[in-house]
Amino acid sequence: MSDLSRPNGPKIIAVANQKGGVGKTTTAINLAAALVEEGKRVLLVDLDPQGNASTGLGIELEDRVYTTYELLLEDIDLDEVIQDTDYQGLLIVPATVDLSSADIELISNEKRSFLLHDALRQTQMDRYELDYILIDCPPSLNLLTVNAMIASHSILVPLQSEFFALEGLSQLMMTIREVRQTGNKDLRIEGVVLTMYDKRNNLSQQVEQDARSNLGDLVFETMIPRNVRVSEAPSYAMPVLAYDPQSKGAEAYRDLAKELIKNNV
Ligand code: ADP
Ligand code: MG
């Protein structure tokens, strides 16, 4: 097995929050693209059966022959599942709806929680010379998300700046604690990033205050503004950094990448 303990191997970060629509996929795609702009080599693992990260990076359905499903459940060469994207330095393992049955198929598998962990630690992984692996998690705390948490060094939590935003966090933190006890004692929280932030909206400001007072340093200084260019980019199958490089959204994801890198030196 390859030794992925830092600093030699890639840093593996799961982008997770069991709430849907909070900006996980958007953050996974655009943070990955921003890290690439910083000269990093990044692999994005699409762990959501909806495959939104794959679509958002322009991987057509017919090009998703070997996917995260095969990565987890079949003994397959990494070269078959890891694909290039249009962005040099950004690689992807795409997903399709096939992955939705993995949860059930895995139940009888003794290693069911460690499949992604083991897949990402194959010796073959070394030749991609990755700096980061980002995992785009599904909107649930199911076995796929547990696989991501066991495989990862840290969790990055997008928090949508809206009412009830912090409500789901205690459940997420509980799952993280369980994972620390059962399979990954070193699992850290990379940070919580406020998404779809609207500085003119009192509610956004309230969520920010609550998050910073409850979670302190865990909250990234960088906040991702609500920005129409961010929401348009996926329909052009591009990160917003490529779709509109000067947009507020692109700038924010660049700042987030820089803050992440700074926190990891
Ligand atoms: P998740 O992966 O958590 O379900 P998504 O990343 O798919 O969430 O985001 C949910 C929706 O919100 C998508 O339509 C996305 O385009 C939109 N969205 C995400 N971030 C922003 C943003 N900063 N500004 C505007 N729209 C956003
Ligand atoms: Mg998503």
DSSP string across 92-161: EE---GGGGGHHHHTTT-TTTTTHHHHHHT-GGGGGG--SEEEEE--SS-SHHHHHHHHH-SEEEEEEES
CATH of the domain at 182: 3.40.50.300
Tokens 């998703």, residue located: 64
DSSP-derived 3-state class of residue 193: strand
Q: List pLDDT tens digits, range 244-262.
A: 999 999 999 999 999 999 9
Q: Which parts of the chain sit beneath pLDDT 70? A: 1-7
Give the residue whose CA is nearest to atom 9 of ligand 1. 23
Given this model, what pLDDT does residue 51 score? 98
Structural domain count of the chain: 1
The ipTM assigned to this model is: 0.99
CB 21 within 8 A of CB 52: no
User: What are 103's two structure tokens?
Assistant: 């949860």
Mutate to test the pocket of ligand 1, among 26, 134, 229 (most ligand atoms within 8 A of CB): 26
126 in a domain, yes or no?
yes
Given this model, what pLDDT does residue 167 score? 84
Give the residue whose CA is nearest to atom 16 of ligand 1. 231
69 in a domain, yes or no?
yes
Pocket, ligand 1, Cβ cutoff 6 A: 20-26, 52, 139, 195-196, 224, 226-227, 230-231, 234, 249
236 in a domain, yes or no?
yes
> Structural domain of residue 94, as residue ranges?
11-260
**Torsion 136-140-145-149 (CA) sign:** positive
Give the residue whose CA is nearest to atom 27 of ligand 1. 231
90 in a domain, yes or no?
yes
Given this model, what pLDDT does residue 7 score? 56
Given this model, what pLDDT does residue 3 score? 47
Given this model, what pLDDT does residue 105 score? 87
Cα Rg of the chain, angstroms: 17
Given this model, what pLDDT does residue 52 score? 98
